[in-house]
Structure 1
Amino acid sequence: MSVNKIVLAYSGGLDTSVILKWLEQEYQCPVIAYSADIGQKEDWEAVTAKGMATGAEKVIISDLKKEFVEDYIFPAFRANAIYEGSYLLGTSLARPLIAKEQVRIAEQEGADAVSHGATGKGNDQVRFELGYIGLAPQLKIIAPWRTWNLTSRQKLVEFAKANNIPVPVTKKNPYSCDENLLHISYEGGILEDTWNQPDEDMFKFTVSPEKAPDVPTVIEIDFVAGNPVAINGDKMEPLALFTMLNKLAGENGIGRLDLVENRYVGMKSRGVYETPGGTVLRIAHRDLESITLDREVMKIRDSLVPRYSELIYNGFWFSPERELLQSTMDQTQKTVNGTVRLKLYKGNCISLGRKSDFSLYQESFATFEEDEVYDQGDATGFIRLNGLRLKINGLQGRYSK
């Protein structure tokens, strides 16, 4: 394959540093190292310096935090996205944004190829490449882990030493981690045995629930059209608000998850996640919907959540079906306006109250006290009509007694 210039999704770690040098040698062309700042703790000056020292023509650091919250996290949480009932899609939501910016840089810099460091066993290769294909099908895609012969860490280290690429001398992190504003994930190491529990000192975003404060933190979150807009009455921009939610939830030990999930490529994988702010946001959002969404609208919307979430997990963010479902989800959010009061306490997020000018809850109808708006006698015909088919089946003796 003939290539003139490559944009590499670059983290500065051993793998992508080796890939950077390997691409330069293999294709004999300039390589631009691109890193996306989506909230991970990183020394970007060091990343830039290492990329240039390793042979990059240019190192580009793109600050995507604001876009990540506004255009990826919030839309997904308006839809209550959740994969296999537990996973809040922290990595899955970040990949299409990274790919989108990579494509933009490739077009800006006149590159005709893009590359990534995802392995041939994982979901990320699919997510990156579906993004490239959907946004810029003319670009060539290079996936080194599927083509080269550097198939072990030892071979990577040997290549790095042979090419004067610094190899960390500190003890290797036993986990494969992905960090961004929404979450941090841990895979590999002792976690590959599903019976082993995670080490407590592994966690970065959350304190242990046992060590969380003994006094609850009570907060109020205001929503407009399904998006959070204020905490305790203080209006904030989305990035600042979500950062605050992460802090409050993390301090109270909220958001840990240990999950064995089904990867798109076919295997099961065990991951441990910390998603503090996202966990609180989802609970608050669903609680407000309980008073602002019509029953039948909620049923239809909830029936679409698994499909919507699966599309994101599998890498189809840039697809007509995801956009169709997003429009449907957002249509349901027009009345999701109001305030939720929550108690954050030792790993738990508990709803204490909710209110809205768009509430469909009417105390005059729901009360157990005497009322003048509901005729309880109407229930007799309602029950008989609903039971008619059961009566007919019963006359045929179809039910065991």
Structure 2
Amino acid sequence: MTDVAGFLADVGGRLAALEAEGLTKRERLIEGAQGARLRIGGREMLNLCANNYLGLANDPRLVAAAGAAMQSHGFGMASVRFICGTQDIHRSLEARIAGFLGMQDAILFAACFDANGGVFEALLTEADAVVSDSLNHASIIDGVRLCKAARYRFANNNMADLEAQLQAARQAGARFILIATDGVFSMDGTAADLAGITRLAGRYGAVTLVDDCHATGFVGPQGRGTAAAAGVRVDILTGTFGKALGGALGGYIAGPQPVIDLLRQRARPYLFSNALPPAVVGAALAAFDIVEGADDLRAKLAKNAAYWRAGLTALGFDLLPGSHPIVPVMIGDAVLAQAFAQALDRRGIMVSAFFFPVVPRGAARIRTQMSAGLSRADLDFALAAFAAAGKELGVLA
């Protein structure tokens, strides 16, 4: 007989251990809309931890587009796509994604986590191999685990190690090899070496897959992503509407027609999840229209990121190098990182501390994220708060 009391005691013990190690994650209740400034517990806070890169999460144009789509197409689909869950706007959005990314077709998912979770199992068999970057997102890691292909891992952005793993996969007799990587690694804000990856893919006849969640909309010409920025082509792209493209939910895979067609038949998260609600689809269509002409927002985002990095460096903080709007402030200790986040909270700054298992032990950090919605005054206010908190906790001398 199952020992329910013992099971619950074990769960409680694991929670207590997380708390003792300073690894407990806590949610904060936002009162109102997502934005550069928001309210928590009746206090106005400056938001430095959202994926709202272009500041579109509460854009009136997207709110209006979502409302119009609900008026014309209803609230929810109450079905998966292949039964009675496909509307004309779903296919319009898939065509829009494919055209924007220069792909033959695209397929929608409830989230990019589902897209990455379903792509490998549907496309690969035990005769194939996946070669995955060591810092890939958890969704890629989980997706690879679900498929039967042989698994190889290469050190982050290390082309020599990637080549060694490709050689090993070829020598083991892999039929097809798929290289999987994030376009931008979300914890570090560094871009994948797609020039090197595509060069090696060509040499070893490998398929390339890039998760561009932290790039689509604001990296590369017209925000077309990391491959466009690097001037290369990749075979399969995955992405999300949950970040720069409005910040709601939903993901996609874009690629060659046969790939998309097979995913419609075999990708389990697609086959067994409700279709995206019309409001999200309508707003996503509007987001692509905005993003294509948003050079002004992309320029402001880049200026904000450069100013923020320069300001933190001048104060003496330890940053990971780069130019992406993800700017990690390295703290090291998980407990200290959480104390630092709390000290910033007291000064009106909303940030999140990241620690194990999200990042390696000893590499705890405050991951700050820039947005086009932030003003220069906002950044100066935040720099003053970082300086004061850093001195209070001994992070700065």
TM-score normalised by the chain length of structure 1: 0.28
Q: TM-score, normalised by structure 2?
A: 0.29
Give the structure, 1 or 2, with the largest relative contact order (CA under 8 Å, sep 6 or more): 2
